[in-house]
Amino acid sequence: MNETTDSLHPVEHHPLRPFIPQGAKLLMLGSFPPPRHRWSMDFFYPNFTNDMWRIMGLIFENDKDFFVDIPHKRFDQQKITDFAEHKGIALYDTATAVRRLRDNASDDFLEIVTPTDVKDMLAAMPQCTAVVTTGKKATDTLCGLFALQPPTIGGSVSFFHAGRQLTFFRMPSSSRAYPLALPKKAETYRKMFEQLSLL
């Protein structure tokens, strides 16, 4: 199929630019943003029911609501971007164009039309030493790009690209559909940040 032959499932192009702070050490990759009506901010992991920023709050501030604007039921985008810049965390997704086969945020119903050129992104991040995927679709896509075998969830593998060694971490999904309690997810992510000396 191409962009002109499937009127029921039009191609969506990524609405955000990659977030790459100067001196970024870690590249975090999801799959693709949820539909716009599910956003609570114009940044990555914008769905208020997604727990990525609660995980980060638990790990770095011992407060799951540190990045949450509770009265307005949204995330505090400025706090989040300041945090990511300070820690050197780059964020994007493994697809730049998709078809959404159902009107929801589930990776199970995403058809990737154009994968992200992660190799080009890494070329712009000379200090980056690690890549992390935050779900199965992102993991499968990244493994296809670099011909890697996926590590177990919570695990990592080393690989070489363009003359440097990188570590690929596979983390549990931050979606509430993934059956693992928030503190358990946070503990898995914490180990990764400790290994990278970012905590």
Residue at 168 is within a domain: yes
Q: Tell me if residue 12 falls in helix, strand or coil.
A: strand
Residue at 73 is within a domain: yes
Q: Which two tokens stand for residue 175?
A: 């979606």
Residue at 47 is within a domain: yes
What confidence score (pLDDT) does residue 109 get?
77
62-91 pLDDT, tens digit per residue, is 999 999 999 999 999 999 999 999 999 999
Pairing of strands 89-93, 26-30: parallel
Q: How many domains in the chain?
A: 1
Residues 81-109, mean pLDDT to the nearest whole number: 88
Residue at 1 is within a domain: no
Torsion sign across C-alpha atoms 32, 34, 35, 39? negative
CATH number of the domain where residue 99 is located: 3.40.470.10
What confidence score (pLDDT) does residue 125 get?
96
Residue at 2 is within a domain: no
The parent domain of residue 78 ranges over 11-195
What confidence score (pLDDT) does residue 100 get?
86
E-strand stretches of 20-177? 26-30, 68-69, 74-75, 89-93, 95-100, 110-115, 130-133, 156-161, 164-170
What confidence score (pLDDT) does residue 32 get?
93
- For 102-130, b/e burial (b = at least 16 CB within 10 A) is eeebebeebebbebbebeebbeebeebeb
Residue 159 pLDDT greater than 80, yes or no: yes
pTM for the whole structure: 0.91
Residue at 6 is within a domain: no
Residue at 3 is within a domain: no
Residue 180 pLDDT greater than 50, yes or no: yes
> Tokens 């890549």 belong to which residue?
131
Packing angle of the helix pair 52-61, 77-87 (nearest 10 deg): 60
Rg (C-alpha) for the chain, rounded Å, is: 16
What confidence score (pLDDT) does residue 108 get?
74
Q: Which two tokens stand for residue 106?
A: 């589930």
Confidence of residue 4 (pLDDT cuts 50, 70, 90): very low
Cβ neighbours of residue 36 closer than 8 Å, sequence gap 6 or more: 15
Residue 3 pLDDT greater than 60, yes or no: no
Residue at 4 is within a domain: no
Mark out the alpha helices in the chain (DSSP H runs): 52-61, 77-87, 118-123, 136-146, 182-195
Percent above pLDDT 90 for the chain? 84
Residue 102 pLDDT greater than 90, yes or no: no
